[in-house]
Amino acid sequence: MMKAIVPLWQVNSCNKKYKKKLNNIHICAGGLGTDTCQGDSGGAMSCQIPRDNPVYEQCQGYFVRGLTSFGLGCNQIGTPGVYVDLSNKGIENWIKDIQRFLARKGAENLKPGTKYGIFEKNRDSYFLH
């Protein structure tokens, strides 16, 4: 795993770059020539926690803020990468739905290497094989 220090972008500036195709589940970072690229999707974007925060030691100074999603090319100056914002309530609820599903069905029932789709019905998420 590699790391890079990248700036967060204002939502409006990033949305202009992506021709208003972003929504409230997205955050943008990068654009200074260092970025994520193909194959990085799903990788974590971490943010530093201030030292005076009570959870600093427990979290080793960082928390996961987003997951790599997509971008326009790689490492382009002036063009940020797009991440899924894990602080978004809808994303948080979706993750909790998956956790509840796995607790009910048991993760041991999922076979490694098997592709599973996910569909949503009535605000609940379900795995499909």
Q: How many domains does the chain have?
A: 2
How many angstroms separate the CA atoms of 127 and 129, rounded? 7
Note whether 51 and 38 are same-domain residues: yes
CATH number, domain containing residue 38? 2.40.10.10
Note whether 47 and 75 are same-domain residues: yes
What secondary structure does DSSP assign to 1-68, as a single string?
Answer: ------PBPPHHHHHHHTTT---TTEEEEE-SS----TT-TT-EEEEEPPTTSTTTTTTTTEEEEEEE
More confident residue, 106 or 25: 25
Query: Which pLDDT value is given to residue 67?
Result: 92
- The phi-psi region of residue 36 (left if phi > 0; otherwise alpha if psi is between -120 and 50; otherwise beta) is beta
Tokens of 5: 């220090």
Q: Is the pLDDT of residue 108 over 90?
A: no
Whole-structure pTM value: 0.74
103: enclosing H helix or E strand: helix 89-105
How many angstroms separate the CA atoms of 98 and 106, rounded? 11
Query: Which pLDDT value is given to residue 104?
Result: 72
Note whether 100 and 66 are same-domain residues: no
pLDDT digits (tens, 9 = 90+) for 33-58: 888 888 888 888 988 888 898 888 88
Domain of 61 in residue numbering reads as 11-87
Cβ distance 68 to 81 under 8 Å?
A: yes
Note whether 73 and 96 are same-domain residues: no
pLDDT digits (tens, 9 = 90+) for 71-86: 998 888 999 999 999 9
Note whether 79 and 114 are same-domain residues: no
Note whether 61 and 18 are same-domain residues: yes
Q: Per the domain annotation, does 4 fall within a domain?
A: no
What does the mean pLDDT of the chain come to? 82
